[in-house]
Amino acid sequence: MIKPKVSYFGDVGSFSEEASLKFFGDALFIPCKRFRDVFTNVQSGVCDFGVIPVENSLEGSVGEIYDLLREFEVMVYGEIQLRISHCLIALPEVRLGDIRYVYSHPQALAQCSKFLSTLNVDLIPYHSTSSAIKLIKEKALRDSAAIGSLRAAELYGMNVLAREIEDNLNNFTRFLIISMRDHEPTGRDKTSIIFGLPHVPGSLHAALEVFAVRGINLTKIESRPNKERAWEYIFFIDFEGHRLDSNCSEALDLLRKKLPYMKVLGSYPRAT
């Protein structure tokens, strides 16, 4: 059996890698330093799938991901939710009192703000949690620590100074699985779409009414600035059901006629 090739954001030991392992199990994994690289690998055919974080239960959405979903011709094949537990990680034999700098992804720093406020340290944003740990190890930074996962600390042979340092234990990140196709219907599906609105009063209400009258439950609505026109917005909607279901298909057909722009990102099984 041929193993799928899967790109994910971050280095070995990142939460994206953990989500990838949880979703795919046995696969050929390719780490990427930028979100864009994950999308490029999928669209170009270098990889069959990509795994990218789209929102956190505490810090909200990752705006860049929504922009890339609009830009690239990929589809959402699946989703997975991962419990995020952060550790403060340093070189072996380094103590908490030695730390003057803490590196990590901006969202990880924000998720641990209460704990970090008790330390006399400078916070340094880095492009991923696992890359921050890797940096400290490779440069032997004895006055620095990183925020990351327990698994990453073990993989890099690092010292865990503190565990579960996140502000709220109810800390989950939702990851999307992207591919060049979406998933066949399963009976427990979700669909994601993007659309723009005409500049007339009540246009958002008219668009959402298409779902309401058909009893289609919306699970998320998010707006992003339209990069092509100042002060106009693009809307991202998740709703229950598969795009091939009769009521969902009917709603999508009607929206295409009503709206100046609409793109179906894909239908896929809801994460449990």
Please give the positions annotated as active site: 173, 175
CB-CB neighbours of 102 under 10 Å: 25
Contacting residues for 79 by C-beta, under 8 A, at least 6 apart: 174, 175, 176, 177, 190, 268, 269, 270, 271
Gap between the Cα atoms of 183 and 126, Å rounded: 34
Token readout for 12 is: 């070995």
Token readout for 17 is: 């890698």
Q: What is the DSSP string of 145-213?
A: EEEE-HHHHHHTT-EEEEE--SS-S--EEEEEEEESS-PPP-SSEEEEEEEE--SSTTHHHHHHHHHHT
Token readout for 198 is: 């005409």
Half-sphere exposure of 272 (CA within 13 A, CB side): 3
CB-based contact 221:237 (threshold 8 Å)? yes
Half-sphere exposure of 75 (CA within 13 A, CB side): 13
Ramachandran assignment for 231, one of left (phi > 0), alpha (psi -120 to 50 degrees), beta (any other): left
CB-based contact 54:175 (threshold 8 Å)? yes
Q: Name the nearest CA neighbour of 15 among 95, 91, 104, 76.
A: 104
